[in-house]
Amino acid sequence: MELRCAVQKYAWGKAGKSSLVAQLSQGNSTAPIVEDDPYAELWMGTHPSGPSVIKSSNEPLLNHLLSNVDSLGDEEKKVFGTDLPFLFKALSVAKALSIQAHPNKKHAEELFATRPDLYKDPNHKPEMVTAWLGPFEALCGFRPVADIKFFLQEIDELAAVVGKSACEALVKAESDSGEMQALRECFSALMNTSEESIASALKQFEQRIPSLSAEKKDALQCDLFTRIATDFPGDVGCWSVYFMNYVVLQEGESMFLGPNVPHAYIFGDCLECMACSDNVVRAGLTPKFKDIDTLCSMLDYQAGPVDRFRMQWSTVDEFCQTCSPPVPDFAMARLRLPASATVDKPYGLPIRSNASILLILQGQATSVETKEDLSFGQVLFLKAGQQLTVQVKGQQDLIVYQAFANV
């Protein structure tokens, strides 16, 4: 079944036709692209904040699942009930998203019970991000402590807003647990500093940057800092550059972000798959509500290189790969069929024991089963056990990403 999916026009999205999300939306919608509008996210799934509908009938996908429970796999229903456990997205990021983290399941239930106006569901939100169409930039997890110490020593303006006692505690910390506690104190002190002090320190550092040598600017990642500070003047989140790892994912590379991992996407296009939730705790780089106390209390303060978050894809056959994060809610597969490889022989996608959603990111094909044409931007729902066999058309490779429950 072909789906029509929701577009989210958040302020940080790329504008008009420059946005991958806007381009994809044309594959399953007749709405014209508005050039000045930000097209931030395409949601594929059943989440109530952006539910997909069946294109042929306009029936919400969730309603269809409730009345056709055989569409879901047996193990899927046993673990998650009669709804899809995952939410699949495409993102087009023009400027940094908020400094944020997602709660674990127990914490999500508590937040939903006490603050349903801010936290809209009781589910956790582990997520996997995969770069698409060139480099994707992000901040992710706390840097090695040695890096943070270096920045605190080199940037007086940052050390001033963190505070002398917190900085000294981090310098003197020796054990891993001591470093985590000292890092927590530093980051919490920063986030709780007055807006006036933060804005003043940022301005002072920005004014000092031009006087630094090229080598020093590079060491202090001044280009990255300046880009973010330009979009969010006076925002405490600008200082997060010096606490969190800066990572650039190349096309096809992936990261997994578990509960309580601080992160912020900066620029580029990506695909995300996550547990079916929209719970986000924010504390910077956003006009939305900043729940600083909740974020600082919940974060994972384990410091280290960003490679610990990278995910590896496994080869299924010469055309298909899969990636399975350490959660049952979702896994992903991707298919790249060269046009020349299937001229004489159609390709059958591996049959999944659970329901799945497919996004066509490039190329054209014909479904052998239905004889229908498939093309860029189309989103398909396959019920558990359903076969899809494709014959590539045209000169482009066919590229498809697929999301499904990891049980």
Query: Which of 60, 62, 51, 112 lies closest to 84 in space, CA to CA?
Result: 62
Same-domain status, 225 and 108: no
Query: Which of 132, 126, 89, 87 lies closest to 270 in space, CA to CA?
Result: 132
Q: If residue 366 lies in a helix (H) or strand (E), which one and from where to where?
A: strand 364-367
pLDDT above 90 for 104: yes
H helix and E strand count, the chain: 12, 24
Same-domain status, 169 and 236: yes
At 237-254, the pLDDT tens digits run: 999 999 999 999 999 999
pLDDT above 60 for 341: no
As a whole number of angstroms, the distance between CA 182 and CA 167 comes to 8
At 163-211, the pLDDT tens digits run: 999 999 999 998 999 999 999 999 999 999 999 999 999 999 999 999 9
Candidate from 45-59, 216-230, 279-293 with smallest mean pLDDT: 279-293
Provide the 8-state DSSP code for 242: G
Same-domain status, 105 and 134: yes
282 given a catalytic annotation: yes
φ, ψ dihedrals at 358, nearest 5°: -115, 140
Residue 395 annotated as part of some ligand binding site: no
Tell me how many domains the chain contains: 3
| pLDDT value for 343 | 57
| pLDDT value for 27 | 87
Provide the 8-state DSSP code for 90: E
At 30-70, the pLDDT tens digits run: 789 999 999 999 999 999 999 999 999 999 999 999 999 99
At 2-34, the pLDDT tens digits run: 999 999 999 999 999 999 999 999 988 778 999
Same-domain status, 7 and 117: yes
Same-domain status, 117 and 255: yes
Q: If residue 78 lies in a helix (H) or strand (E), which one and from where to where?
A: helix 74-80
Query: Which of 335, 341, 329 lies closest to 358 in space, CA to CA?
Result: 335
Average pLDDT value for the chain: 95
Residue 312 annotated as part of some ligand binding site: no
Give the mean pLDDT of 215-232: 97
DSSP string for residues in 346-359: -EEPPPPSS-EEEE
Same-domain status, 278 and 341: no
Residue 8 annotated as part of some ligand binding site: no
φ, ψ dihedrals at 128, nearest 5°: -125, 130
298 in a structural domain: no
305 in a structural domain: no
Annotated catalytic residue within 227, 282, 334, 352:
282
Spatial contact of 305 and 116, defined as CB atoms under 8 Å apart = no
